[in-house]
A = this chain, B = another copy of it.
Amino acid sequence: MPVCEILSVGTELLLGEILNTNAQFLSVELADLGISVLRQSTVGDNPRRLASAVKEALERSDILITTGGLGPTADDITKEVCCETLGVKLKTDAEILKQLEDYFLNRGTSMPESNKKQALVPESGTIFPNKNGTAPGFALEKDGKCIIMLPGPPREIRPMFLEYVKPFLSKHSDGIIITHTVRTFGIGESAMAELAGNYLSGDNPTVAPYAKDGEAMLRIGARGKTRAEAEALCAPVLKELLEVLGDFVYGVDSQSLQESVVNLLIQKNLTIAIAESCTGGYVAKRITDIPGASKVFQCGVVTYSDEMKKIILGVSSEVLEKHGAISEQTALEMAHGVRLLGKADIGIGITGIAGPGGGTADKPVGLSFIALSDSSSRIVEKVEVLRKSDREYNRFYTASKALDMLRRYAQEFNESRKSENNNERRHN
């Protein structure tokens, strides 16, 4: 199996100004290709130190992947240093120069002189186009070693890797590893691991639990000579795990909670309207992240103040005075009000305290109420987030709970009920 190292270049990484997500992204992708990552390193924008890191890596490994330092400014030196290390010259590529000039023309400006540097390419090697920025990527191969140079911004490196670099690297891989991820919501990592039981000690496929953003996942990986062989090893284990985990599972592989919700709503022909207080538009944002959400998403309303809850959503003064804005009753009236406003099948109302201020002994930071209303029923759930000091997490997790409530509703919904609802709606 070929071995690989990842070398990230950028003083901003050594200063901690940027979190290195590229190394993780590449590691996952390389594991998928059956390429072992021996080491990840980060050095600053310093030619001497970069050169020695490149040399050391090539002594240990077959493949070196660099990220960053391909930009137009003087401290972008990765291409120059890597080419010098392998003894490859740089030349100006007329086509890339033209693309760069067009890129700036399209933006209504002329190309700054410094960007010309980005049209310099190794005399020999492979060029990976950059559809999301100005710096192309490169592969240099010499004496059995390969250096792949990729840009730093995650929005550029990710599509470039998936579209061009992954197929390029597959020739270095002598088998295939496939992985599937089972995604759950509403169960903790250790409880999920207990349910997965014996599968966790398997060798091929391997099954590993992990947790991310308040969700617990199982990663199933199988090795085979061919994709079909690896998939065949995975299939029975995946099937049994899905049964064992039941309705905690919201999706398999890259599907997000919001994608699963939008797909289910489309499938069941249901429309939604969302009223948010503490989540401030996060649920609407996540639902509309998904292309095609317009088929199911009628409207979203963000109301913080009591006044706006009354004016836009028709929440009653009585409920607000008697129970307060953070209450089951207010959540229910928000859900009901937004459903009518948006002429939707389902209304969601969310009210709570995102923090850091605003909490009381009775109603602490992290508390929220999420309500779901359709034409004939209503559900309300109390949610308490445990990482109280983290406003972003509070809002994200509360939004996830609302999405999960929608998912479970849509999953159980059957079409005959929809036509009843429609009849009823017509009578309203």
Contact = CB atoms under 8 A, between A and B. Distances in A.
A312 interface: yes
A391 B291 contact: yes
A41 to B, nearest CB: 5
B20 A131 contact: no
A128 interface: no
Contact of A280 (B41, B107, B288, B392): B288
Contacts of A191: 109, 112
A43 interface: yes
A75 B17 contact: no
Interface stretch (A23-31, A238-246, A408-416): A23-31
Given A42-B40, A49-B39, A386 B106 contact: yes
A141 interface: no
A69 to B, nearest CB: 11
Nearest to A21: B19
A386 B39 contact: no
A392 B72 CA distance: 25
A15 to B, nearest CB: 5
Given A23-B42, A112-B194, A285-B285, 10 more contacts: A16-B37, A18-B212, A56-B56, A71-B210, A72-B189, A73-B209, A284-B302, A299-B312, A300-B302, A308-B342
A15 B41 contact: no
A211 interface: yes
A53 interface: yes
A155 B289 contact: no
A300 B280 contact: yes
A377 interface: no
- Count of chain copies: 2
Given A131-B387, A288-B302, A298-B308, A12 B280 contact: no
B304 A294 contact: yes
A289 B297 contact: no
Contacts of A304: 288, 293-294, 297-299
Given A190-B114, A281-B302, A39 B41 contact: yes
Contacts of A354: 288, 291
Contacts of A311: 341
Contact of A300 (B38, B44, B281, B289): B281
Contact of A28 (B15, B153, B283, B303): B15
